[in-house]
A and B are shown apart, each in its own frame.
Chain A
Amino acid sequence: MMQLATEITTFTCICCPLGCQLEVALDEQGGVAEVSGNTCKRGADYAAREATAPERMVTAVLPVEGCLEPVSVKTSAPVPKDLMADVLSACSAARLAAPVAAGDVVVADVCGTGVAVVATKSVP
């Protein structure tokens, strides 16, 4: 009988300094079938998230016209990990002029994620 191999992905757990090597087996629909290698529940949750919909906060600094100090920005919520590079590009395309206040929206709905990029400091 032929067997269909189960797709697995591996991660290093970041929930604590243990750094468990996590292995996630995916079912045919791409859902999580099994997590192994974890030593706690947090690790299992992390692995499932990383395997199916990994997300990251993106931070950057952007030049501001008329001010030497660039403004620091962040995504107001995590964005899909795959989109990090696109989000960074979208940020650097933004043209900003001083003054910029913390909380100002620099890019609304970045890359169609529904997440805004906002300033995290005020300059000058």
Chain B
Amino acid sequence: MDTMNAPLCDVVVIGAGVAGAACARELSRYRLDVVLLEAGNDVACGATRANSGIVHAGYDPAPGTLKARYNVEGSRLYARWADELGFAYRRNGSLVLAFSDEELTSVRALVARAARNGVEGVRELDAGEVRALEPQVDAAVKGALLAETGAICDPYEAAFACVEQAVAHGARLRFNERVSSVARLSQDGDAGSAARYLVATASGARWAARAVVNAAGVHADEINNLVSERRLRIVPRRGEYCLYDTDFGRTFSHTMFQAPSRAGKGVLVTPTVHGNLLVGPNAVEQGSKDDVSTSAEGLAFVLEAARRTWPGAGTRGVIANFAGLRASGADGDFAIGQPDDAPGFFNVACFDSPGLTSAPAVAADVARDVAELLDAPARADFDPRRRRAVPFSELDEDGRARAVAADPRAGRVVCRCCDVTEAEIVEALHGPVPVLSLDALKWRTRATMGRCHGGFCSPEIAKIVARETGVAPDRLDKRLPGSPLVATARGDYAELARLEDARAGQGADSRRFSACAGTGALESAPTGASPFDGPPAGFPDDLYDVVVVGGGAAGMAAARAAADGGASRVLLVDREAKLGGILKQCVHNGFGLHRFGEELTGPEYAAREAASLERRAPEIDDAGESAGDGRVEVLRGASVLSVDAARAGEGELAVHAVSEAGAHVLRARAVVLATGSRERGAGALNMAGSRPSGVFSAGSAQNFMNLQGCLPGRRAVILGSGDIGLIMARRLASQGAEVEGVYELMPHPSGLRRNIVQCLDDFGIPLYLSRTVTRLEGEGRLGAVHVSDVDPVTLAPVPGTERRVPCDTLLLSVGLIPENEVAKTAGAELDATTGGARVDNRLATSVPGLFACGNALHVHDLVDHASAEGEVAGRAAAAYARRVAAGGSCVREAPGSPARVVDDALETPESTGAPASAAPVPVLPDDGVRYVVPQRIDPATGADERLTLSLRVSRALREPRFFVEGVSADGSMRTVKKAKTMVAVPAEMVQIKLTGADVAGLSSLHVRVEGRFEDASEAMPLGASSRVEGRSDVAGGGAE
């Protein structure tokens, strides 16, 4: 055979899943020249990536099988393997649950099998013991097997670490090389080369190899059958999963299996090493070895099955679904080693579960046998330990400071869900294993892995990738080859991204502590004020009166109001280089009608607010009232990671932040959280199908268009009639894209009427009510979506109404969720309905000195209202700080611990002491009202103090009448206020103004609404309306 031009190597490893990766790593122990060929564009593209991530204890495989032997050996090796390679691994223990007598029998059989397989630490638990270990388990549990050595890991990381280490030891890695033939070479002709096999790939590349390791996953049978008569047959079995938000990660600590029964093997519910909760998989045989689409039926089955273990399993909290294909051999066991008719050809085939667990043991055996066959000595310089940088998210304060000192880009947190820094992204881009897709970056750094699904950070990451590698987002694949992030980007995108970074670098000093004046927060802002040149003399330390977190509309207003309200030092911290938050990308008009009496665009509104920060305080009115000079210091490019409330009782909070200048601990008497909101992502909708590029949150598409000049796609479908989606429909249409239509689940639009008319009607874009997208289609880029009518009452898709809509882009405008990661770190109590903190009428949270406003508190329709709310919070924070500074009680404003506030609805009216120590007055939504902010009123509120109730109705009403009713300590009720509007819809906030006098002496306040139902679904059941909750789609603009 012609081996001319085929480079010779010792070993070709086919496949960079965990099996091939582990083999490549183990082969690195020997003096061998290794080539690792991967058909995909990253490591772990197949079953390794879409996997339960369980390191099985070994009680399950039948004794005597290869699976039993390697499982037990592999399980024993894992802890050391994880330690050496530096991947996430946690021995959390596994439970196999029995819910019936039949299952109890099979649990006992497994306990016996564990003993025969030589698994230690396995025993039976009774029902009480199970519930003591895992209180969330369904009460019907009858008993369980406990396997103490069961563990969880990150399979991608495991494979990646192995490959990286192999490459570090000289292995040559080739992505996008699908092996198309493996031909046996006649030994006599090429005795000198001793090459046994010629391996060729679809691209035409060839290698002559002395040995081949076949770790080709679902394709391993095809590869084996090219060289061996010992035929293998792999039947791909699809397994589907739902992944939950980290909020659910602590539901269980153990991996919860279900005992096998006649009904099947059940599904598992497990925490993951990254703090999520995972449920699945089912097992469905399928013909295709490539199609990893999920199906609506499969996902429904998984959730249904999971409910046996965890009654709470549902679509709430799901952030992603995915499917993987198990490479199950027809005869059930692994196929490991050389077939007797193919010396030098080593299989790691039919490697389904427990393949992940077995990988280290199998790889060690295979590598040893290869080395023996090729007579390769061990390498003296093999280093089993991989150097791994500790992720920024795991660093403590000192570690962060050191990281930023070493590389200022470590002070730029790009992915705010997973705290991934620019330094980490840049390092991954230039690492030894090439990054060929955004997903590769995601898996290696965890950027975009969090609950926002890259809604915020993918445009930012696209810029970094272009800058570092020259690949613009129209050529950057999301996952598979042919899955570009956007349809078009300007030709000089990468060059300009570099220029932008260079400009930011020159202005780096301005990202350190500085006043806003002269630093170009927004260039249009008047810069008349003299630049602020360091802290004025006379301040004994760096204790601020008020630190405001978040430089959007609410935060800027809060900072201004705090300074005007007499706070001595006010600092506004924002993560971006320019103030304004989301307003910067909202280039349409309609902002500011209430606040400025004219219609502005988002950037203009932001510029006005930023300019107002530059002025000094108005003349001090009441002599001595104002301790400050009215200046607002601004710290840009700084990400706040947490607020430490340990000393809140003594009147001090610590804000932990990082910037390019270092790690900061900002001490403050009061902190205002104005952290905004995030968009509900695609994952939350649990749509079935594939995972193509072209699916955007409306806001990220807006960022790509309005801040980077990209066109997201050419033919778009918009799901959800929230204002951002409507605005983006118009933007896309204006830019020459085709907008097929806007699909809305509810029977009524959720955006403002004006936007329906001016964004859709004006451009001839249809709006389809009571319809939704149920399935995504497309391997690389999105090719079509499937839409169905939904029942207006249950909101479930109506069978038989499905229609395929070709498109390359799906924009989601399906709701905003207050962003409260920082509030959580402070221990602030959150409201399940609003998603924001629970506050009193001064917008004080349950943590003394901590205030919240804007979209972080509850989602607003109008930016004007967010600004107004910011002012309330800023003034209140300043007043609180001044009181604390004067030595006053710091808990008067926010009485009680968080625990006490939780109970405030239940508080009895007997606690009627002096006003200062009286219990807060709970404000409760009643009939027809979904929520009211604030949730409580400070009993010390002055009689002439104004307070605003912001509320949303549960459903659309015509001619609504709002009743604010107070219950007094003696149980009597009085109507405090009646109010009306012409119509009320859930999408539009209603505000009712009261004064302190209105609520004086009350023990609780109730708000209800009466009116005629607006929509047809008169008999909407409670279940349906609760599903509707959290879907209030609102944007940052569109004043009416």
Please give the residue numbers on chain A whose beta carbons come within 8 Å of chain B beta carbons, in ascending order: 11-19, 39-40, 56-57, 59-61, 63, 66-70, 72, 74, 81, 84, 88, 99, 101-103, 120-122, 124
Contact = CB atoms under 8 A, between A and B. Distances in A.
Contact of B604 (A15, A18, A99, A120): A120
A70 B709 CA distance: 6
B756 A12 contact: yes
The majority secondary structure among interface residues of chain B is helix
Given A18-B983, A101-B524, A120 B603 contact: yes
B524 A68 contact: no
B500 interface: yes
Contacts of A40: 982
Contacts of B619: none
A61 B587 contact: yes
A101 B757 CA distance: 31
Contacts of B604: 102, 120-121
Given A57-B599, A84-B762, A14 B734 contact: no
B734 A88 contact: yes
Contacts of B522: 102, 121-122
Contacts of A12: 753, 756-757, 761
14 contacts: A12-B761, A16-B1040, A17-B985, A18-B958, A19-B756, A68-B708, A70-B707, A84-B762, A88-B734, A99-B523, A102-B524, A102-B604, A121-B584, A122-B523
Contact of B496 (A16, A39, A66, A81): A66
B503 interface: yes
Given A57-B599, A60-B587, 5 more contacts: A17-B982, A57-B589, A61-B705, A70-B707, A72-B587
Interface in B744-759: 752-754, 756-758
Interface string B958-989: 10000000000000000000000011110110
A16 B1040 CA distance: 7
A17 B754 CA distance: 9
Interface string B461-490: 001000000000000000000000000001
Interface residues of B, number: 42
Nearest to B496: A68
* Residue of B500, B603, B1040 contacting most chain A CB atoms (<10 Å): B603
B367 interface: no
Nearest to A50: B757
B706 A17 contact: no
A57 B29 CA distance: 69
Given A16-B753, A18-B983, A121-B603, A56 B758 contact: yes
Contact of A120 (B601, B707, B709): B601
Contact of B500 (A17, A39, A56, A68): A68
Interface in B905-957: none
A124 B506 CA distance: 13
B607 A72 contact: no
B322 interface: no
* Residue of A17, A66, A124 contacting most chain B CB atoms (<10 Å): A17
Given A16-B1040, A81-B762, A122-B524, A61 B706 contact: yes
Contacts of B706: 61, 70, 72
Contacts of B762: 56, 81, 84
A15 B711 CA distance: 32
A25 B584 CA distance: 42
Contacts of A63: 490, 709
B589 A59 contact: yes
B734 A69 contact: no
Given A61-B705, A101-B524, A102-B603, A15 B497 contact: no
B131 interface: no
Contacts of A124: 500, 503
A124 B520 CA distance: 10
A102 B523 contact: yes
8 nearest A-B pairs in the assembled complex, by CB-CB distance: A102-B524, A122-B523, A72-B587, A121-B603, A68-B496, A14-B754, A70-B709, A120-B601
Nearest to B520: A122
Contacts of A57: 589, 599
A88 to B, nearest CB: 6
A102 to B, nearest CB: 3
B499 interface: yes
Interface in B983-1006: 983-985, 987-988
B588 A13 contact: no
A9 B601 CA distance: 31
Contacts of A39: 982
A8 B670 CA distance: 60
A17 B753 contact: yes
B59 interface: no
B983 A17 contact: yes
Given A69-B708, A72-B601, A103 B524 contact: yes
B757 A61 contact: no
B70 interface: no
B160 interface: no
B89 interface: no
A122 to B, nearest CB: 3
B213 to A, nearest CB: 46
Given A88-B734, A102-B603, A103-B524, A67 B753 contact: no
A69 B705 CA distance: 9
Given A18-B983, A19-B753, A59-B588, A68 B601 contact: no
B988 A17 contact: yes
B493 interface: yes
Nearest to B730: A59
Nearest to A12: B757
Nearest to B606: A121
Contacts of B734: 60, 88
B982 A68 contact: no
Contacts of B707: 69-70
Contacts of A84: 762
* Residue of A66, A68, A69, A124 contacting most chain B CB atoms (<10 Å): A68
B983 A16 contact: yes
A14 B603 contact: no
Contacts of B758: 14, 56
A59 B988 CA distance: 24
Nearest to A87: B734
A102 B588 CA distance: 15
A122 B987 CA distance: 33
Contacts of B496: 66-68
Contacts of A60: 587, 734
* Residue of A16, A59, A81 contacting most chain B CB atoms (<10 Å): A59
A47 to B, nearest CB: 12
B493 A68 contact: yes
Nearest to A58: B734
A102 B497 CA distance: 22
